[in-house]
Amino acid sequence: MMDRSGNVVGVAAPLEWDDVDTDQIVPAEFLKVVEKKGMGRYLFYRRRYGQDGAERADFVLNQPAYRSAAILVAGANFGIGSSRENAVWALLDGGIRCVIATSFGDIFENNAARNALLCVRLDEPTVARLRSLARKGAAFYIDVPAQTVTAGSEVTAFQMDPHAKKRFLEGRDEVSTTLETCGPAISGYEARMPAWAHPSSVSPVE
Amino acid sequence: MGSSVLSKIWDAHAIGEDEDGRTLLYIDRHLTHEVTSPIAFEALREAGRKVRRPDLTFAVTDHNVPTHDRDLPVESGMSLRQMELLRQNARENGVMLFDYESQDQGIVHVIGTELGLTVPGITLACGDSHTSTHGVLGALAFGIGTSEGEHLFATQSLWIKRPREMRIKVNGRLHAGVYAKDVVLKIIRDMGTGGAIGHSVEFCGETVDSFSVEERFTLANMIVEGGARTAIMSPDEKVLNYVRGRRFAPKSSEWDAAAASWRELASDPGAGYDAERSFDVSRLEPQVSWGTNPAMTVGVTETVPSPADAKTERERVSIERAVGYMGLTPGMRVTDIPVEVVFIGSCTNARISDLVEAARFVRGRHVRQGVRALVVPGSQAVRAQAELMGLASVFRDAGFEWRNAGCSMCIAMNGDELKQGQRCASTSNRNFENRQGTGGRTHLVSPATAAAAAIEGRFVDVRELGRV
Ligand code: SF4
């Protein structure tokens, strides 16, 4: 859940494995969907459901305590692999507002910032401690303006990219901002773009 | 202090900065495909905008197109819908599309370089993580998400944080039968899947210099699996020769000026890097991935790791999980692993030189009974060239399926996929769980090792086959 000031409060689910790639977050077969809404249905699809389509009891988000989780406490290299933004949309649509990990895939982190999914990066001992607090069902509170995670009675500060922070707290239409503030710079480059940087004249579309 | 090739291109394209330390980069080339573009085009339409520079934007259908006979109907309704949407979106915006039936169709990273859409000195972006491939030609290339794609359509620019720079030097002469694919698998194995996060990787060293441009594509393509943001190399004469004469490359009158500018791009001797790594590959053996990410790789003469060898508890859990998923016994020899499917394809290893190397191990022999083997060329142009060179019949005669171009079983969106529990030797770049089909088991290898596995029905050390 996100409160009015843009902070995240809620249950945190521990993910017990590293290298959660975006293929695991949303399998490729669901990339054919052309709407963002409802993507939460496919979140962690292969881990969530067995081959018979029934929920797997061993998957954390299927357990009663974590069904409404708003936070994931992962490990190393969360969101590596494919550039699919569907991974971010599925997490958000599935109720996840924040992922805590020791590192993130670059494109994933970029996509997350553009969709106000919070990525909190902390060192391994801290993440391990938070994971064990999540296992015990501690309440989590992430104060974005102050850049702290409160879990149970433990408060941890985290670093945050200023831009991601702004995007998270304000949200804004980046295209309009770019065109308003940088329109002349874009046209300026286009006027001086070297001839060789342009695709040379070609046969028409087949 | 000299400048790196990345700095030179970066500085020439940086047209703005924000208070958060991001740079607005002008993007000279935008490549797009049917899977990551529909929502970006839709958002553009909703905002009442059009693609700003259709002349710098190129579209292709590759990720989910069937690779069977192009005269047969496309069966999947979802694939058809995405292909049709791309057609509509391209038409509406005046963007050139290399469609399903086109002779120029192929995997976006194969045709981009093949058609000369990628040239040295430009910035390029594509909604796909392996966009790093284009860096081989001395272009600064970024894989982007769908929201960034929308921004790029509308503004022909991207807000990017300057990546840190890592230089990877590769030295040593490779043993015959050992390839660029083995080199990059070894690098990822040593660095881990997160080893290059946040970095652009510049490759150099005598091994890289001696590689053909196509071999370099394999390196740059796959280093993304080590977490790299992108890859880049100083363009040399091999690169200039590669680019010359390609369809969209500068023509005769412009060529000399272009080539002169491109020769200036190479990293200066005094350029500084945030991180440096070096690898000696003179004793490298062919590599085979055994687990569920590309860093889980061993040499072909080694054995499958055991959870008992793990240094930490998390590592133990991950080895146990991976070995379980892959259906392997810890400690078994790689050469005892049986193979049921062989996939030679993808933007990592489906160019003509890859097919030439694979064919060496196939010529005059037959695929082992019970093994299904496919060759899916990276582009229709590669396919046509392979047919001219007689490679197609080498594969067909040996019992391989000879397909049309597309991503195919690399991502398994088009119906080419593994069945539950099937084990595949694949020349692609990702061995994640379910990547090649639900419950499928992927071993990443070079085209030579894949081809030999098709013949033998298990992994073999291609150095011992006497065919190179
Ligand atoms: S071949 Fe595979 S890795 Fe390459 S672009 Fe297609 S899906 Fe991506």
Asked whether A83 and B129 are in contact (CB, 8 A), the reply is: yes
Among B62, B222, B376, B410, name the best residue to mutate to test ligand 1's pocket (greatest count of ligand atoms within 8 A of Cβ): B410
State pLDDT tens for residues B191-233: 999 999 999 999 999 999 999 999 999 999 999 999 999 999 9
Residues of A in contact with B76 (CB under 8 A): 32
Residues of B in contact with A159 (CB under 8 A): none
pLDDT-above-90 percentage for chain B: 93
Mean per-residue pLDDT of chain B: 96
pLDDT-above-70 percentage for chain A: 94
- DSSP, residue by residue, chain A: -B-TTS-EEEEEEE---S--BHHHHS-GGGGG---STTGGGGTTHHHHB-TTSPBPTTSGGGSGGGTT--EEE--SSBTBS---THHHHHHHHTT--EEEES-B-HHHHHHHHHTT-EEEE--HHHHHHHHHHHHTT-EEEEETTTTEEEETTEEEE----HHHHHHHHH---HHHHHHHHHHHHHHHHHHH--GGGSPPP-PPP-
CA atoms within 13 A on the CB side of B209: 8
In this prediction, residues B311-331 reach a mean pLDDT of 94
Instruction: Look up tokens 């936070």; give the residue.
Output: A71
State pLDDT tens for residues A13-27: 999 889 999 999 999
Ligand 1 centroid to residue B430 C-alpha, Å: 9
User: Would you say residue B189 has pLDDT above 70?
Assistant: yes
Angle between helices B38-46 and B146-155 (to 10 degrees): 50
B363 vs B377: CA distance, rounded Å:
18
User: Would you say residue B238 has pLDDT above 70?
Assistant: yes
* Residues B222 and B144 grouped into a single domain: no
A93 lies in a domain?
yes
User: Would you say residue A205 has pLDDT above 50?
Assistant: no
Ligand 1 centroid to residue B411 C-alpha, Å: 7
What atom in ligand 1 is closest to the CA of residue B109? 5
Q: Find, among B141, B58, B146, B148, the residue nearest to B105 by Cα.
A: B58
* Residues B257 and B273 grouped into a single domain: no
For position A204, what pLDDT does the model report?
40
Angle between helices A106-114 and A162-170 (to 10 degrees): 30
B343 vs B359: CA distance, rounded Å:
13
B425 vs B125: CA distance, rounded Å:
30
A-B contacts (CB, under 8 Å):
210
A86 vs B100: CA distance, rounded Å:
24
State pLDDT tens for residues B377-431: 999 999 999 999 999 999 999 999 999 999 999 999 998 999 999 999 999 999 9
* Residues B130 and B144 grouped into a single domain: yes
* Residues B303 and B430 grouped into a single domain: yes
| A93 close contact with B: CB closer than 8 A | no
CATH label of the domain that carries residue A55 = 3.20.19.10
Q: Find, among A83, A71, A59, the residue nearest to A119 by Cα.
A: A71
* Residues B157 and B222 grouped into a single domain: no
For position A69, what pLDDT does the model report?
96
Beta-carbon contacts of B415 under 8 Å, excluding residues fewer than 6 positions away, are: B66, B75, B76
In this prediction, residues A74-96 reach a mean pLDDT of 94
In this prediction, residues B10-17 reach a mean pLDDT of 98
For position B68, what pLDDT does the model report?
93
Instruction: Look up tokens 């069945």; give the residue.
Output: B419
State pLDDT tens for residues B86-124: 999 999 999 999 999 999 999 999 999 999 999 999 999
- DSSP, residue by residue, A102-132: S-B-HHHHHHHHHTT-EEEE--HHHHHHHHH
Residues of A in contact with B293 (CB under 8 A): 19, 21, 80
A203 lies in a domain?
no
Q: How many domains does chain B have?
A: 3
CA distance A105 to chain B (A): 7
* Residues B181 and B156 grouped into a single domain: no
ipTM: 0.91
* Residues B331 and B392 grouped into a single domain: yes
CATH label of the domain that carries residue B69 = 3.30.499.10
**Residue B461: band (very low, low, confident or very high) from pLDDT cuts 50, 70, 90:** very high
State pLDDT tens for residues A156-193: 999 998 888 888 888 777 898 899 999 999 999 999 99
Q: State which residues form the domain around A180.
A: 8-195
Ligand 1 contact via B128 beta carbon (within 6 Å):
yes
B184 vs B226: CA distance, rounded Å:
9
A206 lies in a domain?
no
* Residues B11 and B42 grouped into a single domain: yes
| A46 close contact with B: CB closer than 8 A | yes
pLDDT-above-70 percentage for chain B: 100
User: Would you say residue B456 has pLDDT above 90?
Assistant: yes
* Residues B293 and B254 grouped into a single domain: no
Q: How many domains does chain A have?
A: 1
* Residues B102 and B178 grouped into a single domain: no
B192 vs B91: CA distance, rounded Å:
43
User: Would you say residue A142 has pLDDT above 90?
Assistant: yes
Phi, psi torsion values for B159, nearest 5 degrees = -85, 120
State pLDDT tens for residues B276-309: 999 999 999 999 999 999 999 999 999 999 999 9
Instruction: Look up tokens 């292709």; give the residue.
Output: B60
What atom in ligand 1 is closest to the CA of residue B108? 5
Which two three-digit tokens encode residue A151?
Answer: 């879990």
CA distance A18 to chain B (A): 8
* Residues B292 and B439 grouped into a single domain: yes
Instruction: Tell me if B56 and A174 make a contact (CB, 8 A cut-off).
Output: no
Instruction: Tell me if B147 and A76 make a contact (CB, 8 A cut-off).
Output: no
* Residues B336 and B406 grouped into a single domain: yes
User: Would you say residue A201 has pLDDT above 70?
Assistant: no
State pLDDT tens for residues A43-72: 999 999 988 889 999 999 999 999 999 999
Q: Which residue, by CA, sits nearest to atom 4 of ligand 1?
A: B347
A202 lies in a domain?
no
User: Would you say residue A2 has pLDDT above 60?
Assistant: no
Mutate to test the interface with B, among A18, A19, A119, A132 (most CBs of B within 10 A): A19
**How big is chain A, counted in residues?**
206
For position B308, what pLDDT does the model report?
95
Long-range contacts of residues B41-44, Cβ cutoff 8 Å, at least 24 apart: B41/B85, B41/B89, B41/B93, B41/B153, B42/A34, B43/B147, B43/B150, B44/B150, B44/B153, B44/B154
CATH label of the domain that carries residue B207 = 3.40.1060.10
Q: State which residues form the domain around B438.
A: 288-464
| A143 close contact with B: CB closer than 8 A | no
Q: Find, among B379, B415, B9, the residue nearest to B202 by Cα.
A: B9
| DSSP one-letter code for B348 | T
